[in-house]
Structure 1
Amino acid sequence: MTAENVCPPAFLAFAHEIADAAATVIRPYFRQRLEIAAKADSSPVTVADRLAEMTMRRMIEKCFPGHGVRGEEFGTSNAEAEWVWVLDPIDGTKSFASGSLAFGIQIALLHQDAPVLGIIDQPITNERWVGQRTSPTLFNGVPVRTSDTARLKDAIVYTSALEQFNLDARERFSRLAAGARFTRMSHDCYAAGLLALGSVDLLVESNVFDYDILPQIPIIEGAGGIVTDWEGRPLTDASQYETVLMAANETLHAEALARLKQGQIPRPRGLPLTVTTA
């Protein structure tokens, strides 16, 4: 065990504090009639997103002024710091704004650009996943494990937003979905939590941002899962977030990769993409 693999206890305790603070900000806005604005990339944002991130950023700046912060809503400060907090105040804003529970607060702590801590918090149901390098993932304080589903035909596959896939990625994903037990959409970070619990077997994403995924990596890996791009490479470069594959175990990961890799296992002409949305 090396120093770069360990999140100091004080930083872990602080991560819980900022997650609690963000949850307190968000709860009063849930299932209220909110103005939904559009950001430059046309993605939605609400006052709850912005206030939650602002609250967390101010706490970090006060308690750890030497740390960097990278947030979805307010960008990056002190990017070259040894320790950098990555904040996604509401991952799943579309779900939040429409009254669905399929959203969460996401927090990652990077040490020298590597994620050593990840938190997913569902502030309405009071569910919290915590992942750390070298430690088992905890769900509300209890260790959890990914599933032992080894065959794609038995696997439950989730993806957040099929409309974000380009034509090539959609074709590749359709090969995977055609061989799976069933597929569902629109759970964002909550799907990663379900994967860590063993309820979901594969999570496949395309055209996402690092702040969407970085908090999930320690959680999935700490529960026994695997996180790579669609070529099987660890996520170490910003360009790799065009394709992300999270799998419950190595055997299932290998079969999923075979379906997703470019040019393998051609999809029969006319084969429909089966995606369950209800």
Structure 2
Amino acid sequence: MGGGLLHRTQPVLRRPLHEPDAEDGRGFPQSLEAYMMTAIDMQHLTDLAREAGRIALSWFRRTTVTMKGDATPVTEADKAVEACLTEELRRAYPDFGILGEEGADMDKSARFRWVLDPIDGTNAFAAGLPVWGISIGLMEGSSPLAGVAYLPAVNDLFLADLEGPATLNGRPIHVIEGQPITPQSIIMSAADAHLRWDIRFPGKVRAFGSCVAHFCYVAAGSALVGLNTHTAIWDIAAAL
């Protein structure tokens, strides 16, 4: 996980919104107007994720899955949550692009882009299982900058930008390092991993059905590794 939950090396978005017309030798814009910076309000993103979570919970255990043309599942909750996220992010950050799993695709040429998965783990959500999440990632090109992943049914909120350590419910988290693998060690796995790989892990294998949950719990030290298949950028953008 790069700009989202694991790697923290420099401030997020302390750069101009638009490419400057001219630059000095260090890559900084020469005009005063071009020095105008933008800062992402992480509290706003947290509040937005929680509001999206309230919308999702209003549909939880009372909706059904339909299949899209690409053979992936969707519910009315997915659509309602993405509409909420798209509307608010468009209002708050009009210069940013938006890419969402359920169809949002705005300003492809924008330097910064929100990447959304309104409900990561749609099958688990529709089945009434608690591990599914709302994923909001911010990217500059292919580089992740910030992310919020919220699992409303268990009220776990993961937050990360480039300024400091990733957090779970406000507390810093870190991956497992330097520990031996034991029968109690856990890895997170895609539900169909046993059909693809010969997994001979001596510990325990868990499949929650949500890519972002798998990676976030790895980041929090709950598991050693997350294995996922059929992964799209919106599945993982918040956790990169």
Same fold (TM over 0.5): yes
TM-score (norm 1): 0.68
Q: Are positions 1:82 and 2:104 aligned together?
A: no
What is residue 186 of structure 1 aligned with on the other side? 208
TM-score (norm 2): 0.78
What is residue 22 of structure 1 aligned with on the other side? 52
- How many Å apart are 1:149 and its aligned residue? 5.0
User: Match for 1:160 among 180, 183, 190?
Assistant: 190
Q: Distance in 1 between matches of 2:135 and 2:90?
A: 18
What is residue 203 of structure 1 aligned with on the other side? 226
The residue identity in structure 2 corresponding to 1:144 is I
Structure possessing the higher relative contact order (Cα contacts under 8 Å, 6 or more residues apart): 2
Query: 1:135 is paired with a residue of what secondary structure?
Result: coil
Query: 2:228 is paired with a residue of what secondary structure?
Result: strand
Structure 1 residues 131 and 179, CA, compared in 2 at 3 Å: closer, same or farther? same
Q: Which runs of 5+ in 2 are unaligned?
A: 1-8, 16-37
Preserved CA contact (<8 Å) 2:131 2:154: no
Preserved CA contact (<8 Å) 1:5 1:134: no
What's the CA shift string for 1:34-92, capped at 9, x where partnerless?
Answer: 13211112221111000000111011222221110000001411011111101000000
Structure 1 stretches (4+) deviating beyond 3 angstroms?
1-11, 149-155
Structure 1 residues 16 and 9, CA, compared in 2 at 3 Å: closer, same or farther? farther
Structure 1 residues 4 and 191, CA, compared in 2 at 3 Å: closer, same or farther? closer
What is residue 236 of structure 1 aligned with on the other side? none
Q: Distance in 2 between matches of 1:112 and 1:135?
A: 21
- How many Å apart are 1:195 and its aligned residue? 1.1
Q: Please state which structure has a larger fraction of its residues in helix.
A: 1
Taking the TM superposition and a 5 Å limit, the aligned residue runs for 1:1-16 are: 9-16=39-46
Identity of aligned residues (%): 25
What is residue 6 of structure 2 aligned with on the other side? none
The residue identity in structure 1 corresponding to 2:92 is C
Q: Which runs of 5+ in 1 are unaligned?
A: 218-278
Q: Which moved more, 1:48-57 or 1:126-135?
A: 126-135
Preserved CA contact (<8 Å) 1:119 1:128: yes
Q: Are positions 1:43 and 2:72 aligned together?
A: yes
The residue identity in structure 1 corresponding to 2:161 is Q
What is residue 131 of structure 1 aligned with on the other side? 160
What is residue 122 of structure 1 aligned with on the other side? 151
The residue identity in structure 2 corresponding to 1:111 is E
The residue identity in structure 2 corresponding to 1:30 is F
Q: Distance in 1 between matches of 2:12 and 2:154?
A: 33
Residues paired across the two proteins, number: 208
Preserved CA contact (<8 Å) 1:118 1:214: yes
The residue identity in structure 1 corresponding to 2:135 is Q
